[in-house]
C-alpha cells in the first residue's frame, strides 16, 4: 500500500489556532467573492425576472425600447398583424406604467410602484397568485400586490384599501415577483380595463394611456413553429416601428444592456477581483509562514534526497487543503447572507450550482497562485546551509 | 606548525585495495566560493581516503573549511575540481538531480535535529524510508531502528514530548534507517548536554561497528574524540594532520589542542 506520510496535512493542522486563523482568512476571501458576485448576479437576475416569467415565445417591442427602462409603446394593431402570420397561435398585450403613485396604507406616504396590466382572461403572467385571482381582477378599481415589494409599500393583504394615483384602489390578492431597478418598490398587477381607469385620463404633465398602445407584445407559437424563423419573417414583413425577438434574445439583450451599458458589471468585477487578490495575499502569508517556520526541516528533506518537485507538491497540497477548508465555511456563511440580503432588499440573491462551482474553481486558483509564489522560497532553499 | 607546501596524502599505501573498499576517495580537491574579485579559495588540494567501516572525526578551527568539505562529500554542493569519489561514484561534474540521487545513499545527522514537530518519531523516520519507495515495510523499519536507538517506547511520540537527546536519537534513526554505507554528522552533540552527547556518540559508534558503516563526524567537542579511528585536522583549507587517536592525543598538548580546536 502506497501511503506517504501526510506531511502537508500534518504541518497545516499541527497548530490548531494557526489552522483556524488560516481557514478564517480563506473563508473571508471566499465570502467576499460570493457577496460581490452575488450582488452583481442579483442585479442582473432581478432585471430579467419579469421577462423570464412572461408567457410568450416571441417578444415584440417598440423599435427604440432597447431596455425595460425606456417607456415607449407600439401600436396594438402590430400585434394583430403578427397574429395573422402562420405559426402564431396567440398574441398578448402587456401594459406597463412605471412610477405609479401608491399611498402606503399605514404611513400615508406616497411611493412609486410599477403597474403591469393585461387582459385577465389571457395567461400573460402565469404566476400562481395571479392565476388564482383572475376573477377578482375583473372588478373595477382592483389590483394584486407583489408580496416581495419593499417594506415602504406598507402592510398589504387581500382587502387592503388605499390609493393609486389619488384614486381609491382595493387590493384583492397578492402574488410573488420581486423588485428591480425599473419597478423600484414593487409591482402591482391589474386588468387592462382598470389600467385605463387609472391612467387613461391623467394630468397634463403625464402621458395618458389607452389600450391602443402596448409596452410589450407576446406571441405564442403554434405547435411545430420555429421561433427564430418566425422572428425573421416578422422582422421582414412588419413595419419597422417594432422590433421582434425570441424571448431568449430579448432576455439576453436586456442582460447585455445592464452588463455593458452600466457600471454595475465593472464595479462588481473589480470588487470580486480585489477580494480574489486579497485571498491570494492571505493564503500566501499562511503558506510562506509555514515554509519559513520549517525552513531547516525542509532543507533537511532536500539534503536527504527529496527533490524540489516533492516540496512543490507539499506546498500545493497545503494550498488545496486550505482552499477546500476555507471554501466550505465561506460558502455556508454566504448562503445565510444571501438569504438575509434577499429578505432585506428584495434583490434576488440566488446561489446556483454553477455559481458555486465557479467560485470553488476561483478559490482553487487563488490558493494555487499563492502556493506557486510561496514555493519559490522552498526551492531556493540550499540544502548545504543545513550544515552549520 | 608550517603548512605543507605540497598537500600531504594519506593512506596511499593501500594501493592494493580496490575502489569499493573506500567510502570516500578524494584527490586534489580544491573549492572556491564567489566569482571574480570576490573569489576566495576555501579548500586547497585535498587528498583523503576514508576506508569503509572507519569512524573519522574531522576537526579544525572555525573557517577552516570543515563544513565545506563535509557538504562536498555529502553531495550538497557541486564539487569543482579534482576528484571526489563517494561510494564509488565520481561527484565532480554531476548535475543537481544526480547529486540528489547520491544523497539518498548517505545518512545525514545535523547539529539541530530538524524533525518535523507535526510528525511522530516514527513518521519522521518513515519520511526517509519513503525515499526508497518502500511503502510496505516503512513502519516496521522505522519501529526497528527506533528500538535500536533506544526509543522503542517513544515511537509514536511527537518531538515536543521528547528530550533533546531523544530527539537527536530520532534524527540518528532517520539517518540510519536506510542503512547508508556513509554517514555524515555535523556537530551531532553541539545541542546536547554532555551526558546525552556521550550517549548519542556511543550509539553511533555501536551501530557503525555492528553494521560496518563509515562515519565522518565534524566536531569541536573533544570529549567524543575517543570514538574515532582517525582524527583529521583541517586548518585554513588544508589537511594539517591525519592521525590515530593515540598519536593525536600525544602530539597535541592540551593547551594547543584547546587553542586550535575551540576557536568558534
Whether chain B has a CB inside 8 Å of the CB on A386: the answer is yes
Mean pLDDT of the B93-107 span: 89
**Which of A290, A291, A297 to mutate: most B Cβ within 10 Å?**
A297
Comparing C-alpha atoms, which of A266, A325, A295 is closest to residue A22?
A: A325
A97 near A214, Cβ under 8 Å?
no
Contacting residues for B78 by C-beta, under 8 A, at least 6 apart: B91, B94, B96, B99
A/B interface, count of CB pairs below 8 Å: 82
Phi-psi region of A381 (alpha: psi -120 to 50; beta: other; left: phi over 0): beta
A34 near A366, Cβ under 8 Å?
no
Q: Determine, yes or no, domain membership for B28.
A: yes
Secondary structure class of A367 (helix, strand, coil): helix
CA distance A307 to B98: 11
Task: Centre a 10 Å sphere on the Cβ of residue A126 and count the other Cβ atoms it contains.
Answer: 11
- Determine, for residues B97 and A296 on separate chains, whether the beta-carbon distance falls below 8 Å: no
- Residue A336 pLDDT grade (very low, low, confident, very high; cuts 50, 70, 90): very high
**Which of A382, A387, A388 to mutate: most B Cβ within 10 Å?**
A387
Q: How big is chain B, counted in residues?
A: 264
Secondary structure class of A301 (helix, strand, coil): helix
B119 near A297, Cβ under 8 Å?
no
C-alpha cell at B29: 580537491
Number of structural domains in chain B = 1
Q: Determine, yes or no, domain membership for B72.
A: yes
Helix/strand/coil percentages in chain B, nearest 5: 40, 25, 35
CA distances from A215 to A61, A116, A175 (A): 6, 10, 21
Give chain A's radius of gyration (CA, Å). Answer: 29
CA distance A335 to A107: 33
Sign of torsion over alpha carbons B13, B19, B24, B29:
positive
Q: Which residues of A touch B74 (CB under 8 A)?
A: 303, 387
A327 near A360, Cβ under 8 Å?
yes
Q: Which residues of B touch A14 (CB under 8 A)?
A: 117-118
Secondary structure class of A96 (helix, strand, coil): strand
A299 near A383, Cβ under 8 Å?
yes
CA distance B222 to B219: 8
- pLDDT at residue A71 above 50? yes
- Determine, for residues A301 and B127 on separate chains, whether the beta-carbon distance falls below 8 Å: yes
Q: Determine, yes or no, domain membership for B58.
A: yes
Q: What is the pLDDT of residue A196?
A: 94
Q: Which of A14, A300, A302 has the CB atom closest to B110's CB atom?
A: A300
Tens of pLDDT, residue by residue over A150-175, are 888 998 999 999 999 899 999 999 99
Tens of pLDDT, residue by residue over A220-256, are 999 988 999 999 999 999 999 999 999 999 999 999 8
Nearest CA in chain A to B177: A304
- Determine, for residues A305 and B100 on separate chains, whether the beta-carbon distance falls below 8 Å: yes
Q: Which residue has the higher pLDDT, A179 or A163?
A: A163
Beta bridge partners of B55: B215
- Enclosing domain of residue B252: 22-105+182-188+218-264
CA A31 to chain centre: 17
A315 near A381, Cβ under 8 Å?
no
- pLDDT at residue B189 above 70? yes
Q: What is the pLDDT of residue B252?
A: 62
This prediction has a pTM of 0.76
Whether chain B has a CB inside 8 Å of the CB on A157: the answer is no
Q: What is the pLDDT of residue B37?
A: 84
Q: Which residues of B touch A2 (CB under 8 A)?
A: 135
Q: Determine, yes or no, domain membership for B172.
A: no
Q: What is the CATH number of the domain that holds B249?
A: 3.40.50.300
Q: Determine, yes or no, domain membership for B99.
A: yes
- Determine, for residues A383 and B111 on separate chains, whether the beta-carbon distance falls below 8 Å: no
Instruction: Write phi, then psi, for A281 (nearest 5 degrees).
Output: -65, -45
Whether chain A has a CB inside 8 Å of the CB on B75: the answer is no
- Residue B264 pLDDT grade (very low, low, confident, very high; cuts 50, 70, 90): very low
Whether chain A has a CB inside 8 Å of the CB on B115: the answer is yes
Tens of pLDDT, residue by residue over B42-57, are 999 999 999 888 899 9
CA distance A145 to A157: 8
| Long-range contact pairs involving A380-384 (C-beta distance under 8 Å, separation at least 24) | A381/A295, A381/A298, A381/A299, A381/A302, A381/A311, A382/A299, A383/A299, A383/A300, A383/A302, A383/A303, A383/B76, A383/B103, A384/B71, A384/B76, A384/B77
C-alpha cell at A88: 402564431
Q: Determine, yes or no, domain membership for B139.
A: no
Whether chain B has a CB inside 8 Å of the CB on A310: the answer is no
Amino acid at each position: 500500500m502506497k501511503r506517504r506520510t501526510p506531511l502537508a496535512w500534518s504541518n497545516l493542522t499541527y497548530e490548531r489556532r494557526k489552522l483556524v486563523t488560516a481557514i478564517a482568512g480563506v473563508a473571508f476571501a471566499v465570502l467576499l467573492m460570493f457577496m460581490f458576485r452575488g450582488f452583481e448576479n442579483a442585479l442582473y437576475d432581478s432585471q430579467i425576472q419579469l421577462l423570464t416569467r412572461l408567457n410568450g415565445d416571441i417578444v415584440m417591442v417598440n423599435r427604440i425600447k432597447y431596455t425595460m427602462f425606456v417607456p415607449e409603446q407600439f401600436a396594438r394593431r402590430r400585434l394583430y398583424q403578427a397574429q395573422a402570420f402562420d405559426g402564431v397561435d396567440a398574441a398578448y398585450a402587456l401594459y406597463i406604467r412605471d412610477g405609479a403613485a401608491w399611498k402606503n396604507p399605514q404611513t400615508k406616504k406616497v411611493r412609486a410602484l410599477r403597474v403591469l396590466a393585461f387582459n385577465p382572461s389571457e395567461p400573460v403572467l402565469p404566476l400562481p397568485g395571479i392565476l388564482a385571482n383572475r376573477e377578482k381582477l375583473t372588478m373595477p378599481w382592483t389590483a394584486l400586490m407583489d408580496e416581495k415589494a419593499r417594506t415602504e409599500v406598507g402592510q398589504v393583504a387581500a382587502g387592503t384599501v388605499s390609493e393609486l394615483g389619488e384614486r381609491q384602489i382595493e387590493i384583492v390578492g397578492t402574488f410573488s415577483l420581486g423588485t428591480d431597478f425599473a419597478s423600484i418598490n414593487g409591482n402591482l398587477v391589474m386588468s387592462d380595463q382598470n389600467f385605463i381607469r387609472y391612467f387613461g385620463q391623467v394630468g397634463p404633465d403625464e402621458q395618458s394611456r389607452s389600450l391602443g398602445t402596448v409596452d410589450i407584445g407576446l406571441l405564442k407559437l403554434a405547435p411545430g413553429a420555429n421561433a427564430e424563423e418566425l422572428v425573421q419573417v416578422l422582422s421582414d414583413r412588419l413595419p419597422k416601428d417594432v422590433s421582434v425577438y425570441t424571448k431568449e434574445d430579448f432576455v439576453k439583450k436586456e442582460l447585455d444592456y445592464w452588463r455593458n451599458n452600466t457600471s454595475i458589471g465593472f464595479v462588481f468585477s473589480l470588487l470580486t477581483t480585489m477580494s480574489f487578490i486579497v485571498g491570494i495575499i492571505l493564503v500566501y502569508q499562511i503558506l510562506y509562514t509555514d515554509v519559513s517556520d520549517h525552513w531547516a526541516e525542509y532543507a533537511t528533506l532536500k539534503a536527504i534526497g527529496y527533490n524540489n518537485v516533492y516540496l512543490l507538491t507539499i506546498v500545493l497540497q497545503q494550498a488545496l487543503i486550505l482552499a477546500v477548508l476555507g471554501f466550505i465555511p465561506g460558502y455556508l456563511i454566504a448562503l445565510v447572507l444571501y438569504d438575509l440580503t434577499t429578505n432585506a432588499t428584495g434583490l434576488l440573491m440566488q446561489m446556483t450550482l454553477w455559481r458555486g462551482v465557479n467560485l470553488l474553481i476561483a478559490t482553487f486558483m487563488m490558493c494555487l497562485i499563492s502556493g506557486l509564489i510561496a514555493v519559490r522560497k522552498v526551492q531556493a532553499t540550499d540544502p548545504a546551509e543545513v550544515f552549520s | 606548525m608550517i603548512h605543507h607546501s605540497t598537500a600531504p596524502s594519506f593512506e596511499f599505501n593501500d594501493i592494493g585495495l580496490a575502489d569499493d573498499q573506500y567510502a570516500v576517495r578524494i584527490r586534489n580537491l580544491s573549492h572556491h566560493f564567489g566569482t571574480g574579485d570576490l573569489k576566495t579559495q576555501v579548500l586547497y588540494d585535498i587528498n583523503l581516503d576514508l576506508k569503509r567501516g572507519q569512524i573519522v572525526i574531522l576537526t579544525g578551527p572555525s573557517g577552516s573549511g570543515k563544513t565545506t568539505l563535509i557538504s562536498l562529500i555529502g553531495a550538497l554542493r557541486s564539487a569543482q575540481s579534482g576528484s571526489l569519489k563517494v561510494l564509488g561514484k565520481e561527484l565532480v561534474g554531476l548535475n543537481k538531480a544526480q547529486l540528489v540521487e547520491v544523497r539518498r545513499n548517505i545518512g545525514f545527522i545535523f547539529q539541530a535535529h530538524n524533525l518535523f514537530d507535526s510528525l511522530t518519531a516514527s513518521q519522521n523516520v518513515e519520511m526517509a524510508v519513503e525515499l526508497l519507495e518502500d511503502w510496505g515495510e516503512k513502519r516496521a523499519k522505522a519501529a526497528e531502528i527506533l528500538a535500536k536507538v533506544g526509543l522503542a517506547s517513544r515511537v509514536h511520540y511527537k518531538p515536543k514530548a521528547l528530550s533533546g537527546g531523544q530527539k537527536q536519537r530520532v534524527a540518528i534513526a532517520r539517518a540510519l534507517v536506510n542503512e547508508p554505507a556513509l554517514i555524515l554528522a555535523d556537530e551531532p552533540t553541539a545541542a546536547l548536554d554532555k551526558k546525552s552527547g556521550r550517549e548519542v556518540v556511543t550509539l553511533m559508534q555501536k551501530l557503525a561497528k555492528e553494521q560496518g558503516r563509515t562515519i565522518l563526524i565534524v566536531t569541536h567537542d573533544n570529549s567524543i574524540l575517543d570514538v574515532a579511528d582517525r582524527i583529521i585536522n583541517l586548518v585554513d583549507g588544508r589537511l594539517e594532520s591525519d592521525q590515530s587517536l593515540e598519536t593525536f592525543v600525544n602530539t597535541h598538548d592540551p593547551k594547543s589542542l584547546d587553542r586550535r580546536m575551540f576557536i568558534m
